Amino acid sequence: MKMKNRRAMGGMPILRQPRPRKTVLIGSKKIGSGPTRIICVVGGKSALKDALTAKRQGADILEARVDLWDNPGQAKTDLRELRKMKILPIIATVRRVQEGGFWPENEEIDRKNFLGEIIDEELADCIDIELNATKIRTAILQLCKRNEIATIVSYHDFVGTPSSSQLSKIIDRINRTGADIIKVAVMANSREDVHQVIRLTEKYAKKLRPMVMISMGELGRPTRVMAGLFGSSMTYGYCSAQPMAPGQVPVTELKKALQMSPNNISGQVRFSDLAAVL
């Protein structure tokens, strides 16, 4: 017989446990549960050296920004070398000009083909493709799925922070692409912009697939240093001569902050707990 309202001894209702959030593997690193993962951005002539530094400093994963190399051929050569060295798992990103990168906006077919070569050669454990790359996004996601490579669909705004309702729609659009990880990075022009990003991260990180929510710029640095406190599964840093994005934090600083935090598990504290330090 079905019981509509199951109760434990003493008449107290049995509470259904919340469904655990989906987790994703990037190489050997689990994303979505456990510690916040530190991603070190590398690219260009110093990529191999920086990759070794990243591992020494405590990064978990490399993001190879392929658009930072002088030419795609050299980028592939270095990616092959990184694979041979087995330093850390690799996220491959070919960021276009419209979203803070250097890949020309009128060369989307070439970008699709180049990403396809990276995927076919298994030169990366994860691919990042932008939400607004509508000409190639679906094809790249399908190719990654066939090759069992993790995916990030990302959105960037280097001017400001969209309204709460707009950001919610962006998050929903990314979620509906079927990407393994949601990434949103927007520029903070006020403390309220930062608070808004934190509130939305706390709201959605418990419901959806793993997320990375970043407030860029100096005001947004707390969202990088304390990423896991409000639900972000990963945080991006650098170990080269200069940051790769506004407000980006050195890997050493991220590592120290995460080691000091008693809550280095995504989503363990509420926005109200964090607001006092922002």
CATH label of the domain that carries residue 257: 3.20.20.70
Q: Read off the pTM.
A: 0.86
Q: Which of these ranges, 134-148, 163-177, 235-249, 253-267, has the smallest mean pLDDT? A: 253-267
Instruction: Flag whether 269 is in a domain.
Output: yes
Instruction: Flag whether 10 is in a domain.
Output: no
Residue-range definition of the domain harbouring residue 241: 25-275
Reply yes or no on whether the pLDDT at 269 is more than 80. Answer: no
Give me the number of domains the chain comprises.
1
Please give the average per-residue pLDDT across 63-69, as a whole number.
Answer: 96
* Per-residue confidence (pLDDT) for residue 182, from 0 to 100: 97
Catalytic, out of 22, 29, 135, 156 = 156
Instruction: Flag whether 179 is in a domain.
Output: yes
Q: What percent of the chain lies above the pLDDT cut of 90?
A: 72
Instruction: Flag whether 16 is in a domain.
Output: no
156 a catalytic residue: yes
DSSP codes joined into one string, the chain: ---SS-B-TTSPBPPPPPPPPP-EEETTEEESSSSPEEEEEE-GGGHHHHHHHHHHHT-SEEEEEGGGSSSHHHHHHHHHHHHHHT-S-EEEE--BGGGTS-B-TT-HHHHHHHHHHHHHTT--SEEEEETT-TTTHHHHHHHHHHTT-EEEEEEEESS----HHHHHHHHHHHHHTT-SEEEEEEE-SSHHHHHHHHHHHHHHHTTSS-EEEEEESGGGHHHHHTGGGTT-SEEEEE-SSS-SSTT-EEHHHHHHHHHH-TT-STT-S-HHHHHTT-
Instruction: Flag whether 19 is in a domain.
Output: no
* Per-residue confidence (pLDDT) for residue 261, from 0 to 100: 58
* Per-residue confidence (pLDDT) for residue 226, from 0 to 100: 86
Query: Model confidence over 13-58: pLDDT tens digits?
Result: 333 333 445 799 999 999 998 889 999 999 999 999 999 999 999 9
Please give the average per-residue pLDDT across 59-76, as a whole number.
Answer: 95
Query: Model confidence over 146-186: pLDDT tens digits?
Result: 999 999 999 999 999 999 999 999 999 999 999 999 999 99
pLDDT mean across residues, the chain: 86
Reply yes or no on whether the pLDDT at 274 is more than 50. Answer: no
Q: Which of these ranges, 50-64, 184-198, 217-231, 258-272, has the smallest mean pLDDT? A: 258-272
Instruction: Flag whether 3 is in a domain.
Output: no
Catalytic, out of 183, 195, 206, 256 = 183
Instruction: Flag whether 15 is in a domain.
Output: no
**264/94: higher pLDDT:** 94
112 a catalytic residue: no
Instruction: Flag whether 20 is in a domain.
Output: no
Please give the average per-residue pLDDT across 96-124, as a whole number.
Answer: 93
How many other CB atoms are there within 10 angstroms of residue 13's CB atom? 9
